Amino acid sequence: MSPPRSAAVFLAVATLVATSGTGCRLVQRGGPVAPEVAEARRLCNEGLSAADRSDLVRAEGLLERAVKSCPSDIDARRHYAEVLWKRGERMEAVAQINEALRLSPEDAELCVQGGSMYLEMGLFDDADRLAREAVRVAPGSADAWHLRGQVSLTRGQAEPALADFHRALAIDPSDRSVLIDTAEAYRRLDRPQRALATLAVLSETYGPSQTPANVLTLEGRAQEALGRPADAIDSYRAAMVRGGDPSDAAERLAALEGTSAGATASRPDGPTTRR
Protein backbone atom coordinates (compact mmCIF):
# COMPACT_ATOMS: atom_id res chain seq x y z
CA MET A 1 0.00 0.00 0.00
CA SER A 2 1.48 3.33 -1.06
CA PRO A 3 1.79 6.14 1.54
CA PRO A 4 -0.75 9.00 1.51
CA ARG A 5 0.05 11.80 -0.93
CA SER A 6 0.73 14.26 1.93
CA ALA A 7 3.26 11.91 3.49
CA ALA A 8 5.04 11.40 0.17
CA VAL A 9 5.26 15.15 -0.41
CA PHE A 10 6.65 15.68 3.09
CA LEU A 11 9.29 12.97 2.51
CA ALA A 12 10.37 14.56 -0.75
CA VAL A 13 10.64 18.01 0.82
CA ALA A 14 12.57 16.66 3.79
CA THR A 15 15.02 14.90 1.49
CA LEU A 16 15.54 18.09 -0.51
CA VAL A 17 16.18 20.13 2.64
CA ALA A 18 18.58 17.53 4.01
CA THR A 19 20.71 17.47 0.87
CA SER A 20 20.54 21.01 -0.49
CA GLY A 21 23.07 22.61 1.88
CA THR A 22 25.54 19.82 2.40
CA GLY A 23 27.87 20.38 -0.54
CA CYS A 24 29.21 17.90 -3.06
CA ARG A 25 31.09 15.70 -0.66
CA LEU A 26 27.95 14.57 1.15
CA VAL A 27 26.04 13.27 -1.85
CA GLN A 28 24.75 9.81 -1.01
CA ARG A 29 27.11 7.16 -2.33
CA GLY A 30 24.36 4.81 -3.37
CA GLY A 31 22.37 7.36 -5.36
CA PRO A 32 23.00 9.01 -8.69
CA VAL A 33 25.96 11.36 -8.83
CA ALA A 34 25.79 14.61 -10.75
CA PRO A 35 28.41 14.93 -13.52
CA GLU A 36 30.14 17.88 -11.84
CA VAL A 37 30.39 15.91 -8.60
CA ALA A 38 31.91 12.89 -10.31
CA GLU A 39 34.36 15.14 -12.14
CA ALA A 40 35.37 16.88 -8.92
CA ARG A 41 36.00 13.56 -7.21
CA ARG A 42 38.07 12.29 -10.13
CA LEU A 43 40.18 15.45 -10.24
CA CYS A 44 40.61 15.45 -6.48
CA ASN A 45 41.85 11.85 -6.46
CA GLU A 46 44.27 12.57 -9.29
CA GLY A 47 45.47 15.67 -7.46
CA LEU A 48 46.12 13.72 -4.27
CA SER A 49 48.03 11.09 -6.23
CA ALA A 50 50.18 13.82 -7.77
CA ALA A 51 50.81 15.30 -4.32
CA ASP A 52 51.89 11.88 -3.04
CA ARG A 53 54.45 11.83 -5.85
CA SER A 54 55.59 15.33 -4.76
CA ASP A 55 54.37 16.75 -8.07
CA LEU A 56 52.85 19.78 -6.37
CA VAL A 57 52.47 21.86 -9.53
CA ARG A 58 50.27 19.23 -11.15
CA ALA A 59 48.45 18.59 -7.86
CA GLU A 60 47.62 22.28 -7.53
CA GLY A 61 46.22 22.46 -11.04
CA LEU A 62 44.08 19.36 -10.62
CA LEU A 63 42.70 20.40 -7.24
CA GLU A 64 41.96 23.90 -8.52
CA ARG A 65 39.89 22.32 -11.30
CA ALA A 66 38.16 20.08 -8.73
CA VAL A 67 37.12 23.11 -6.69
CA LYS A 68 35.86 24.92 -9.78
CA SER A 69 33.93 21.84 -10.84
CA CYS A 70 32.14 21.65 -7.49
CA PRO A 71 32.70 24.81 -5.41
CA SER A 72 30.86 23.38 -2.39
CA ASP A 73 33.10 20.31 -2.14
CA ILE A 74 34.76 20.86 1.23
CA ASP A 75 37.27 18.03 0.91
CA ALA A 76 38.50 19.38 -2.43
CA ARG A 77 39.06 22.79 -0.84
CA ARG A 78 40.82 21.23 2.14
CA HIS A 79 43.26 19.32 -0.05
CA TYR A 80 43.69 22.29 -2.37
CA ALA A 81 44.64 24.42 0.64
CA GLU A 82 47.21 21.84 1.75
CA VAL A 83 48.93 21.87 -1.62
CA LEU A 84 48.81 25.66 -1.87
CA TRP A 85 50.43 25.88 1.57
CA LYS A 86 53.21 23.51 0.56
CA ARG A 87 53.75 25.59 -2.57
CA GLY A 88 54.20 28.70 -0.44
CA GLU A 89 50.93 30.31 -1.53
CA ARG A 90 49.85 30.98 2.02
CA MET A 91 47.22 33.65 1.59
CA GLU A 92 45.39 31.63 -1.05
CA ALA A 93 45.61 28.54 1.15
CA VAL A 94 44.02 30.41 4.05
CA ALA A 95 41.35 31.77 1.71
CA GLN A 96 40.42 28.22 0.71
CA ILE A 97 40.18 27.12 4.35
CA ASN A 98 38.04 30.13 5.21
CA GLU A 99 35.67 29.34 2.35
CA ALA A 100 35.48 25.72 3.46
CA LEU A 101 34.69 26.90 6.99
CA ARG A 102 31.97 29.14 5.64
CA LEU A 103 30.40 26.06 4.06
CA SER A 104 31.00 23.88 7.13
CA PRO A 105 31.54 26.17 10.16
CA GLU A 106 31.65 23.39 12.75
CA ASP A 107 34.25 21.21 11.06
CA ALA A 108 36.90 20.75 13.77
CA GLU A 109 39.47 19.39 11.31
CA LEU A 110 39.16 22.53 9.21
CA CYS A 111 39.47 24.69 12.33
CA VAL A 112 42.71 22.94 13.28
CA GLN A 113 44.07 23.17 9.74
CA GLY A 114 43.30 26.87 9.47
CA GLY A 115 44.44 27.60 13.02
CA SER A 116 47.79 25.92 12.38
CA MET A 117 48.27 28.06 9.29
CA TYR A 118 47.45 31.24 11.18
CA LEU A 119 49.83 30.23 13.97
CA GLU A 120 52.71 29.72 11.55
CA MET A 121 51.93 33.10 9.97
CA GLY A 122 52.11 34.78 13.39
CA LEU A 123 48.40 35.66 13.42
CA PHE A 124 47.88 34.50 17.00
CA ASP A 125 44.41 35.92 17.57
CA ASP A 126 43.01 34.13 14.54
CA ALA A 127 44.84 30.94 15.51
CA ASP A 128 43.44 31.14 19.02
CA ARG A 129 39.92 31.75 17.72
CA LEU A 130 39.98 28.65 15.55
CA ALA A 131 41.69 26.56 18.23
CA ARG A 132 39.00 27.39 20.76
CA GLU A 133 36.30 26.67 18.20
CA ALA A 134 37.89 23.29 17.46
CA VAL A 135 37.94 22.43 21.17
CA ARG A 136 34.32 23.51 21.53
CA VAL A 137 33.14 21.48 18.55
CA ALA A 138 35.31 18.41 19.19
CA PRO A 139 36.49 18.17 22.82
CA GLY A 140 37.65 14.64 22.08
CA SER A 141 40.12 15.80 19.44
CA ALA A 142 43.77 15.62 20.48
CA ASP A 143 44.66 17.91 17.57
CA ALA A 144 42.28 20.59 18.85
CA TRP A 145 43.79 20.62 22.36
CA HIS A 146 47.30 20.50 20.91
CA LEU A 147 46.67 23.53 18.72
CA ARG A 148 45.24 25.53 21.63
CA GLY A 149 48.30 24.63 23.70
CA GLN A 150 50.62 25.63 20.87
CA VAL A 151 49.01 29.05 20.70
CA SER A 152 49.50 29.54 24.43
CA LEU A 153 53.10 28.32 24.31
CA THR A 154 53.90 30.66 21.43
CA ARG A 155 52.48 33.52 23.48
CA GLY A 156 54.76 32.60 26.38
CA GLN A 157 51.98 31.07 28.48
CA ALA A 158 53.60 27.77 29.33
CA GLU A 159 51.31 26.78 32.22
CA PRO A 160 48.00 26.80 30.29
CA ALA A 161 49.82 25.31 27.31
CA LEU A 162 50.97 22.39 29.46
CA ALA A 163 47.42 21.80 30.65
CA ASP A 164 46.18 21.61 27.06
CA PHE A 165 49.02 19.29 26.05
CA HIS A 166 48.07 16.96 28.89
CA ARG A 167 44.48 16.94 27.63
CA ALA A 168 45.78 16.01 24.18
CA LEU A 169 47.99 13.24 25.58
CA ALA A 170 45.08 11.83 27.56
CA ILE A 171 43.41 11.27 24.19
CA ASP A 172 46.50 10.16 22.25
CA PRO A 173 49.45 9.34 24.58
CA SER A 174 51.83 8.51 21.73
CA ASP A 175 51.49 11.69 19.66
CA ARG A 176 55.10 12.70 19.04
CA SER A 177 54.43 16.35 18.28
CA VAL A 178 52.44 16.75 21.50
CA LEU A 179 55.14 15.01 23.52
CA ILE A 180 57.90 17.30 22.26
CA ASP A 181 55.78 20.39 22.90
CA THR A 182 55.05 19.07 26.40
CA ALA A 183 58.77 18.68 27.05
CA GLU A 184 59.36 22.23 25.80
CA ALA A 185 56.65 23.54 28.13
CA TYR A 186 58.31 21.79 31.08
CA ARG A 187 61.65 23.28 30.07
CA ARG A 188 60.22 26.78 29.98
CA LEU A 189 58.67 26.21 33.39
CA ASP A 190 62.14 25.28 34.72
CA ARG A 191 61.16 21.66 35.30
CA PRO A 192 63.98 19.91 33.42
CA GLN A 193 63.51 16.56 35.15
CA ARG A 194 59.95 16.34 33.86
CA ALA A 195 61.16 17.47 30.45
CA LEU A 196 63.67 14.61 30.35
CA ALA A 197 61.06 12.10 31.50
CA THR A 198 58.74 13.22 28.69
CA LEU A 199 61.57 13.02 26.15
CA ALA A 200 62.37 9.50 27.35
CA VAL A 201 58.81 8.46 26.54
CA LEU A 202 59.12 10.17 23.16
CA SER A 203 62.44 8.46 22.37
CA GLU A 204 60.83 5.06 22.86
CA THR A 205 58.62 5.74 19.83
CA TYR A 206 61.68 5.82 17.54
CA GLY A 207 63.95 3.03 16.42
CA PRO A 208 67.64 2.75 17.39
CA SER A 209 69.61 5.85 16.35
CA GLN A 210 66.45 7.37 14.85
CA THR A 211 65.71 10.08 17.42
CA PRO A 212 65.46 13.41 15.53
CA ALA A 213 67.91 16.25 16.06
CA ASN A 214 65.35 18.59 17.64
CA VAL A 215 64.48 16.00 20.28
CA LEU A 216 68.17 15.46 21.10
CA THR A 217 68.73 19.21 21.30
CA LEU A 218 65.87 19.62 23.75
CA GLU A 219 67.30 16.74 25.74
CA GLY A 220 70.64 18.54 25.89
CA ARG A 221 68.98 21.73 27.13
CA ALA A 222 67.29 19.82 29.94
CA GLN A 223 70.56 18.13 30.90
CA GLU A 224 72.29 21.49 31.03
CA ALA A 225 69.61 22.78 33.37
CA LEU A 226 70.21 19.76 35.61
CA GLY A 227 73.96 20.49 35.75
CA ARG A 228 75.02 17.60 33.55
CA PRO A 229 77.29 19.24 30.94
CA ALA A 230 78.92 15.99 29.80
CA ASP A 231 75.54 14.41 29.04
CA ALA A 232 74.41 17.61 27.33
CA ILE A 233 77.52 17.59 25.11
CA ASP A 234 76.75 14.00 24.07
CA SER A 235 73.18 14.94 23.20
CA TYR A 236 74.24 17.97 21.16
CA ARG A 237 76.85 15.95 19.28
CA ALA A 238 74.26 13.29 18.48
CA ALA A 239 71.87 16.01 17.28
CA MET A 240 74.48 17.35 14.89
CA VAL A 241 75.13 13.86 13.52
CA ARG A 242 71.41 13.55 12.71
CA GLY A 243 71.62 16.63 10.50
CA GLY A 244 68.72 18.94 9.72
CA ASP A 245 70.72 22.10 10.51
CA PRO A 246 70.46 21.93 14.32
CA SER A 247 71.98 25.39 14.77
CA ASP A 248 70.89 25.60 18.40
CA ALA A 249 72.72 22.34 19.15
CA ALA A 250 75.89 23.66 17.49
CA GLU A 251 75.78 26.89 19.49
CA ARG A 252 75.15 25.14 22.81
CA LEU A 253 77.87 22.58 22.07
CA ALA A 254 80.41 25.27 21.27
CA ALA A 255 79.56 27.12 24.47
CA LEU A 256 79.85 24.01 26.61
CA GLU A 257 83.07 22.83 25.01
CA GLY A 258 84.56 26.30 25.39
CA THR A 259 83.65 26.35 29.06
CA SER A 260 85.02 22.85 29.54
CA ALA A 261 88.29 23.71 27.79
CA GLY A 262 88.69 26.85 29.86
CA ALA A 263 88.10 24.97 33.09
CA THR A 264 90.65 22.31 32.11
CA ALA A 265 93.29 24.90 31.18
CA SER A 266 92.84 26.75 34.47
CA ARG A 267 93.55 23.69 36.61
CA PRO A 268 97.19 23.60 37.87
CA ASP A 269 97.38 19.84 37.35
CA GLY A 270 95.67 19.93 33.99
CA PRO A 271 97.22 18.02 31.09
CA THR A 272 99.86 19.84 29.05
CA THR A 273 99.01 20.72 25.49
CA ARG A 274 100.90 18.67 22.91
CA ARG A 275 102.22 20.45 19.87
Q: Going from the N-terminus, what domains does the chain have, and what CATH number goes with each?
A: 179-263 (1.25.40.10)
> Which of 212, 153, 221 is CA-nearest to residue 190?
221
DSSP output for 124-141: HHHHHHHHHHHHHH-TT-
**CA 122 – CA 167 distance, rounded (Å):** 24
What pLDDT tens digit does each residue of the chain (275 aa) get? 444 444 333 333 333 333 333 344 433 344 567 888 889 899 999 999 999 999 999 999 999 999 999 999 999 999 999 999 999 999 999 999 999 999 999 999 999 999 999 999 999 999 999 999 999 999 999 999 999 999 999 999 999 999 999 999 999 999 999 999 999 999 999 999 999 999 999 999 998 889 999 999 999 999 999 999 999 999 999 999 887 766 788 888 899 987 765 554 444 454 433 22
Q: What is the pTM of this model?
A: 0.80
Contact residues for 177 (Cβ-Cβ < 8 A; gap 6+):
146
